[in-house]
Structure 1
Amino acid sequence: MDKTVVVVGATGMQGRAVTRHLLTGGWRVRALTRDPSGARAQALARAGAQVVQARMEDIDSLTAAAEGAWGLFSVQPTVGSPGTAPDFTTEDEVRWGVNVAEAAHAARVRHLVFTSVAGADRHPGEKVPVNLVSKWRIEHHIARLGLPATILRPVSFMENYTGGYALRDGHLSTGIAPDTAQQLMAVDDIGFVTELVFSHPGDWIGRAVSLAADELTPVQVAAAIAEALGISLPYAQIPIEEIRALSEDFAYANEWLNERGYRADIAATRKIHPAAMDFTTWLERTGAAQVSAFLDSARATGGGA
């Protein structure tokens, strides 16, 4: 495989997984990052990626980085994502996604893969959370440019349960109601599917698919983590009004998950990727170690986990 794929956001969670699977598949990878000297970027370089400096707010740097590449993987952070500036907005996310699409168009990239989010295609038929709207706007721009593209729409990541977002004060805590099942997908499996998509462009260009590998209530998630680690981990729902006091958008997103949810077809995902991990398998392979490392660090620093 002598084709080059550009990975935007290569040092992020999805970008690292995609880069790893592309390299394993024999692709040449051009990993874009704003800080080539950073530890994650250097790890990608040691793994065999060509690390290139580019910023999603700078379309010229993106276009230069995409020149001569066959494919491009695009992902943008949402408001509140780790590593984003406190003043990062939904409009910033859309602008970054549009910039990447424009750069792919200018560089005549032959296959763009964009990770959106499950449910984005239900806008504007019903009111949806702002992150679904932002992803849909980026999808719409990709279509308007006529790019040869594939849209992947994953559900919530299993990795969301490995840090302070959900682990605090000896509990698993989110805004999801205890008896509401939430669809989940491991980030590593997004990397696998992305490499599959790039490897079979004739089967995938022009398609948009939602991806989910498991569906569990938060009580079941807490019980699975507790069993894997041999600890007590009760579930405590965060009242929506407490979330609303911090962010109306986050409050609505949790209400939407409780009342509507992603509705991805898990059986269809397993036809694409039969080995996609369920939550228990993910815990056995990497998840339990990640949760344990976070809890150990939190205890060592006197954190609230």
Structure 2
Amino acid sequence: MTLTNKTVVVVGATGLQGRAVTRHLLRDGWRVRALTRDPDGAGARALARAGAEPVRARMEDVGSLTAAAGDAWGLFSVQPTVGSPGTAPDFTTEDEVRWGVNVAEAARAAGVRHLVYSSVAGADRHPGEKVPANLVSKWRIERRIAELGLPATILRPVSFMENFTGGYALRDGTLSTGVAPDTVQQLVAVDDVGAVTALAFARPAEWIGRAVSLAADELTPVQVAEAIGAALGISLPYARIPNEVIRSVSEDFAYAMRWLDEHGYRANIAATRRILPAAMDFGTWLARTGAAQISAFLDSARAAGQGAW
């Protein structure tokens, strides 16, 4: 355990990554200031019960971020991507960039000694390769962090295993995404991103100045469906969503699916395991938490009479 009286601010603390980071930091003995729009909400109350200090701040308001980061030693920054659960329908990539830059500038104004920013694998390929909009937005935030001269660590996770736990991918009795059935897709558990974040804060001399991609497994969508089906004892076929259907909703999202098919993240799984030997492969994640999360979602869908469950 890391014993410290230092405070780390976690931006987006009630979100998926924020909760994982908070959990690992508290476990290691850090003081955690959990930034949230609603300190009285259920998510914030759960963090308070775990030992964090919920503080009201909004990523569109630099002043609130700067005040909340006052006297903190470290800060974890993550922003939603277009289409992320909980984001407004009119949320754009420009909003994401503005929020990420606001957090970085607040960290500088508050004198934060170590910023850990959660980006995305492949963002650094933007200068030489056409990439999806969400990679470009995160690259722009990375560049601003560098321009500000912040003592920073950049983490670049691949797709999250948790993407397969809800309606994003589970519908009508199938696993459904826009990725081709034989495309090998790299995956990482959100909890492992939290573990690496805590490791980075615990070893600033080793981690400040580093940019690291994180991936712990790679499977085709068909293999993912088979693994989930085996873990739950159900039949779960894979059904690809046609690209033209996705394009009718979002051209950016359709291009992101094509990019995964044609290029992919290209993270080094062996390097991730050198950093975190206990990083979970997909089967381990299912056994520990994933199958239970998926089962709970399917039970809820059945109770609501949704789909073919």
Aligned partner (choices 31, 35, 52) of residue 38 of structure 2: 35
SS in 1 for 2:9: strand
Per the alignment, residue 236 of structure 1 pairs with 239
**TM-score, normalization by structure 1:** 1.00
Q: Which residue of 2 aligns with 1:259?
A: 262
2:56 is equivalent to residue 53 of structure 1: yes
Look up the equivalent residue of 2:261 and give its one-letter code. Answer: N
* Whole-angstrom CA distance in 2 between matches of 1:83 and 1:244: 22
Question: How much does 1:303 deviate?
Answer: 1.6
Per-residue CA deviations over 1:157-211 (Å, capped at 9, x if unaligned) read 0000000010000000001101100000000000000000000000000000000
Does residue 92 of structure 1 match 2:95?
Answer: yes
Q: Which residue of 2 aligns with 1:282?
A: 285
For the residue of structure 2 that corresponds to 1:124, the secondary structure is helix
RMSD between aligned alpha carbons?
0.5
Measured against aligned partners, the alpha-carbon deviations of 1:199-230 in whole angstroms (never above 9, x if no partner) come to 00000000000000000000000000000000
Gaps of at least 5 residues in structure 1 are none
Counterpart residue type for residue 124 of structure 1: P
Is 1:124 aligned with 2:127? yes
Which residue number corresponds to residue 4 of structure 1?
7
Structure-2 residue corresponding to 1:173: 176
Structure 1 outlier segments of 4+, above 2 Å: none
Letter in 1 for 2:211: A
After TM superposition, give the deviation of residue 302 of structure 1 in Å: 1.4
Letter in 2 for 1:80: G
Q: Report how many residues are paired.
A: 305
TM-score normalised by length of structure 2: 0.98
Q: Which amino acid aligns with 1:219?
A: V
**Identity among equivalent pairs (%):** 81
Shift of 1:130: 0.1
In the aligned structure 2, how far is the partner of 1:101 from the partner of 1:56?
10
Query: 2:62, 2:273 → 1: CA distance?
Result: 36
1:198 aligns with 2:201: yes
Amino acid at match of 1:49: A
Cα distance in 2 for partners of 1:100, 1:269 equals 27
Supply the distance in 1 between the matched residues of 2:84 and 2:268 (Cα, whole angstroms).
26
Deviation per CA, 1:55-106, whole angstroms, max 9, x where unpaired?
A: 0000000000001000000000000000101110000000000000000000
**In the alignment, what sits opposite 1:16?**
19
Question: Shift of the alpha carbon at 1:124?
Answer: 1.9
- Residue type of the alignment partner of 1:265: N
Shift of residue 128 of structure 1?
0.2
> What residue identity is the alignment partner of 2:170?
L
Query: Distance between the aligned counterparts of 2:132 and 2:301, measured in 1?
Result: 31
Aligned match of 1:71:
74
Where 1:127 maps in the other structure, the secondary structure is: coil
CA distance in 1, matches of 2:306, 2:213: 36
- Structure 2 unmatched runs, 5+: none
